[in-house]
A = this chain, B = another copy of it.
């Protein structure tokens, strides 16, 4: 029996060879982005089978002088599906950053809990025999390097290492985290639109200050809740919504999806024709790797930084933006992000205006962030 089948509310202590619940829950928190969770799960499970289980450490249990590196895939999820990373890339990214810093990491972490980036750090942790922190830098997924809560606390993304599947590495050391994004993104595009990165070297004290706590445990709980509800013939979407503290804002059929891969991102729009309670209305999802904005009947209903999640209407399975297909029956769920995202600095970093949408941030419940008027 793997630990991922432990009681829902218990914090994770170890990650075994069954990462299905964690990957499923992380796909929900990934809000459509962060890459294919199935691929991340396979990579993590293979690494655990080869190297043994990964110890999980709660954020509050980290020594203040712990040396924590975050590991992630960077690039377009549409490309990650086609070009699997090798296990050597993870070790190489960590080795490259550790050598540049002249340190030995004591723990690894997820910088974003969404999708593939909740499970890719498991691969690195298993490969290197390091414990993994039960937390992440976002509480969701976002498309750019600087869009993490540690940026709000003044933590530097760089030095930051990239490793591609050919054996190339790059280390960036930048004046701010936005420049880390710019230089890492262009290098990722040149490397073939996806790479493995080690970044945001932090002390245990910095992790305690800036991370979202218990993200991996929450992912497992979400995944287990979804499957358990289905097995009980309960509504899996409602069960997930309850754990998230969210709302079902629309249900319908996907009528149209436009997407293109631009400068390393998968950008697009999906139109959903209402069914049932929403018959006769239309919803529009706008995404850039992740869902960033949902309109219902021509009005903005919710925006980033809050979570916008598309679930299969029947099975409750999360659908990634690249997995959206014509005719799919979906329910669109919104849920609250970490409160720090709703500060002025948080909204500057990852609010709707940053992504090019001319609107104040609308929370999952239809209200606006403090200090903003609609």
Contacts and interface: CB of A to CB of B under 8 A. Distances in A.
A38 interface: no
A173 B164 CA distance: 11
A171 interface: yes
A96 to B, nearest CB: 7
Interface string A306-323: 000000000000000000
A100 interface: yes
A170 B186 contact: no
A172 B175 contact: no
Interface in A176-201: 179, 182-183, 186-187, 189-191
Interface residues of A, number: 21
A276 interface: no
Contacts of A179: 166, 168
B173 A183 contact: no
A174 interface: yes
Contacts of A182: 190
A173 B169 contact: yes
Contacts of A298: none
Interface in A62-116: 96, 99-100
A167 interface: yes
Contacts of A96: 173
A100 B96 CA distance: 10
A191 B182 CA distance: 9
A170 B168 contact: no
Contact of A186 (B167, B169, B175, B190): B190
B175 A166 contact: yes
Nearest to A100: B100
Nearest to A180: B168
Contacts of A100: 99-100, 171
Nearest to A174: B168
Contact of A189 (B173, B174, B175, B186): B186
A346 to B, nearest CB: 25
Nearest to A163: B173
A191 B175 CA distance: 12
Contacts of A171: 100, 170-171, 173
A99 B99 CA distance: 10
A171 B171 CA distance: 5
Nearest to A182: B190
Contacts of A173: 96, 168-171
A139 to B, nearest CB: 29
A188 to B, nearest CB: 10
7 contacts: A168-B179, A170-B172, A170-B173, A171-B171, A183-B187, A186-B189, A186-B190
Interface of A: 96, 99-100, 166-175, 179, 182-183, 186-187, 189-191
Given A169-B174, A183-B191, 8 more contacts: A168-B172, A168-B173, A168-B175, A170-B183, A171-B171, A182-B190, A183-B187, A186-B189
Per CB-CB distance, the 7 closest pairs between chain A and chain B, nearest first, are A167-B175, A171-B171, A186-B190, A169-B173, A168-B174, A186-B186, A170-B172
